[in-house]
Amino acid sequence: MIEGKRIAVVLPAYNAARTLEKTILELSDVVDDRILVDDYSSDDTVLLARGLGLDVLVHDRNLGYGGNQKTCYAAALERGADIVVMLHPDYQYTPRLVVPMASMIASDVYDVVLGSRILLAGALRGGMPLYKYVSNRFLTMFQNLLLGARLSEYHTGYRAFSKEALRSLPLETFSDNFLFDNQILAECILRGMRIGEISCPTRYFPEASSIGLLRSCEYGFGVLMTTLRCAPRRFRPRAMRESWREDQIREATRVGNADS
């Protein structure tokens, strides 16, 4: 726990047997729950995960990256998590940042925290292909402009959420593919959630998962469409855009008064 809050790390896995153990060995002991959801892998991911002592859920068919995350978050909340950190088990993102990211939420400074590959130029140093870096910068600039945010990137797969944030989001309405990450972040921005970032070194190597050029293009087009659909909501009255945060404050006050 951190500041009395229960921490869960969820790992959406697909054929992650080659990198899973390295990822788990770097997780801190303060993590209360380690939940791996296997999306119908064809390798030994499930067997290895159970041997490492993880709580393992297995899909009976491939539901996609977004579909996997939906199971991850539902399982973490069901187990009583106060903070949920989503970490890829491919060892591309360092597990050593789980505690700092969770702490930023536990201290009630942020509702959502992103592990950014772009801050301090970590992506290029870690080997991100140049075409992915350029497209990342263009899409991020486009989304910041239309959504009114100032994030360094929207496309990292390393994220932490408070339970209140996750419970308020319409997760089942989001895509089951890679666009899920972008849709959930756009929704967080439009609901006025407090979003923090932390610089995260990344590694690009053959065993790490990565989508190819064609799927990257499909993802980029989906990001543009998501942004264009969401942007008009930015111009709603301020009171409507900030209602989520105000609701959280009222609920915390109500609980505090009841306890006293």
Q: What is the pLDDT of residues 27-46, one digit of tens each?
A: 999 999 999 999 999 999 99
Contact indicator for 179, 219 with CB cutoff of 8 Å: yes
pTM of the entire predicted model? 0.91
Q: What is the pLDDT of residues 94-153, one digit of tens each?
A: 999 999 999 999 999 999 999 999 987 667 777 788 888 899 999 999 999 999 999 999
Instruction: Give residues with Cβ within 8 angstroms of 168, minimum separation 6.
Output: 191, 244
CA distance linking residue 101 with residue 85, whole number of Å: 8
Q: What is the pLDDT of residue 205?
A: 67
Reduce the DSSP state of residue 31 to 3 states and report it: coil
Which CATH class name applies to 7-259?
A: alpha beta
- Every domain of the chain and the residues it spans: 7-259
Please, which residues bridge with residue 202 across strands?
93
Reduce the DSSP state of residue 61 to 3 states and report it: coil
Instruction: Give residues with Cβ within 8 angstroms of 102, minimum separation 6.
Output: 2, 5, 7, 30, 83, 85, 113, 160
Reduce the DSSP state of residue 69 to 3 states and report it: helix
